[in-house]
Each structure stands twice: as structure tokens, then as C-alpha cells.
Amino acid sequence: MGIARYRKAPPHAVKIAEREVLEAAHRVRAAEGAATFGRREYKKALEVHRFGEQLVFALRDAPRSRELSVLDGACGKSHLSFVARLLVLPALGIRARIVGVDEVPQRIATCRKVARALELDGLEFHVGRLADVALPAPLDVAWALHACGPATDQFLARAVAAGARWILCVPCCHRRIDRGFEEAGVPACGRLRSRLSDVLLDAARFLRLEAAGYRVDAVEFAGGDVTPRNLMLRAERTASGRPPADAAARLARLARLFPELS
């Protein structure tokens, strides 16, 4: 599967309207105690709406008979999880316990304040680093929107280790890889190498998920006008848990060319 151009998630009976997400985002913002809803919050709400569309698609067959266990990695102020809890999951008929994790205590304090103010159950927030924070296990779903560089890799590793069936991950900033470009004949142009570096890191993440037994897709979950960081890795563990025969071999070949990917 390749990188699809931005398109709406495949059609589903459940529709999450942008207007509803904006209303929910306003409620969350007010519960934070903020008097303003500016351009930054507006853009975040649009990102959350587009992410929500992908959740509707990914979770279409998720069980309704029990509560799902969800991780929001690098949750920040958790606008995604609040909108999921207020709108997306109820629309799907899914009950969930969502655990948000972020390393910044102030952000987690804000999340707790919002959950209290909106009287929302099924949400808890923990201060910690994704590399080593205690997580519920097994997980059903793991999502992360714009986890900073290595936090994305920590998130993916923890989500896989905790057995998450669904993983939806939108990487943010990437570390820069340098080795291998000369040997591969890539132009000595910083901008091109920087972009290629981002794509290579995401390609390695894609293959690592496949090698762990997931069916993976890379989609542009939102238009570039909403966020330039708009590549989503969308993964679902296969029933057999068996990786495609060539995933590990592909990863090894890629890492031979670009050693920092190993």
C-alpha cells in the first residue's frame, strides 16, 4: 500500500461533522479556563476532526460489548481524546477507558481540570515519558497526534508491546538522518535530504509495524492547509499476527542503505 493523497476516510454510516467538533473544542477550551479560541485552537480542531474521521473508519468493527482500553500518547492538552470521548466514540457506540500520557505536568493538570469541569468519566491522565511510563495492558487502541520525534517511536514500540489491535499515529518533527545519502547518490541539498530523511524514518516505522504483524497504511489524514505534518500511519494487527514475509527483509535492506534506520 502506498501514500494516498488526502481523501476523506472511506464512507461510513457514522459521520462526524466539522461543526460538531468545533463546538466540542470550544467546550474543552472553555473548560481549560481560556477566554479565547484563536487560530491555533481552530487548526487543532480541524486536525482533530480529520483524525476523528480516521477513527470512525478504523474502529468500525471494534467490539461494542465491552469497554476498550485506549492510549493517547503524548496527549498534550488532549483535545483529540476529549473530542473522541464527547463525540466520536459515542457516535460509534463504543465505550472506552482512555489513558492520556504526557511528560509535561502542567498539560496533564489541564487535562484533569477539563475532565472534571466537563464531568467526563472514562478518562485518566498521567505524567510520564512514553519510553517507561506504566501503561494499561492489554491495549485495544493506541493513538498519537504529533508526538515529538523520538516520542513517536517510543509510542509505537509501547503500543505494539501492549498488543494494541489498532494504532493510529501522526508523527511530528523527525530527527535527521545523515548517513547513506552520499552512497545512495542523493543530491547534496539540505532541503531535499531533510524531506527524504522524514520519509525514510516513516518508512522504517511502517516496516517495523508490518514486521510486528500489522496491516499498515500511510494516508494523508488532513490537507496540507490544516497541517503540514499530515502523514498518518494507520495500522491494524492481523488476525494471524503473522508479518508479511518480506517486512523484516525490506527493513534490513533499507537499513543497509541508511544505517541510522536500524
Ligand X SMILES: C[S@@+](CC[C@H](N)C(=O)[O-])C[C@H]1O[C@@H](n2cnc3c(N)ncnc32)[C@H](O)[C@@H]1O
- Residues in the chain, total: 262
Q: Per CB under 6 A, which region of 16-24, 76-84, 192-200, 251-259 contacts ligand X?
A: 76-84
Residue 34 engages ligand X in binding (rule: CB under 6 A): no
Across 21-60, b (16+ Cβ under 10 Å) vs e yields: bbebbebbbebbeeeeeeeebeebbbbbbbbbbbbbbbbe
Extended strands (E) in 88-189: 96-102, 123-127, 141-147, 166-171
What's the closest the beta carbon of residue 41 comes to ligand X, in angstroms? 10
Q: Are strands 214-220 and 231-237 parallel, antiparallel or unpaired?
A: antiparallel
Q: Is 243 in the site for ligand X (CB under 6 A)?
A: no
**b/e sequence 132-143, b meaning 16+ C-beta within 10 Å:** ebebeeebbbbb
* Number of residue whose CB is nearest ligand X: 76
Q: Does 151 bind ligand X (CB under 6 A)?
A: yes
Interface with ligand X, residue 70, by CB under 6 A: no
If one asks whether residue 200 binds ligand X (CB under 6 A), the answer comes out as no
Q: With CB under 6 A, what is the number of residues at the site for ligand X?
A: 20
Closest CB to ligand X among residues 79, 165? 79
Q: Is 147 in the site for ligand X (CB under 6 A)?
A: yes
User: Cell numbers at residue 84, please?
Assistant: 473522541
Residue of the chain from 30, 157, 172, 186 that contacts ligand X (CB under 6 A): 172
List interacting residues with ligand X (CB under 6 A): 44, 74-76, 79-80, 101-104, 107, 129-130, 145-148, 151, 154, 172
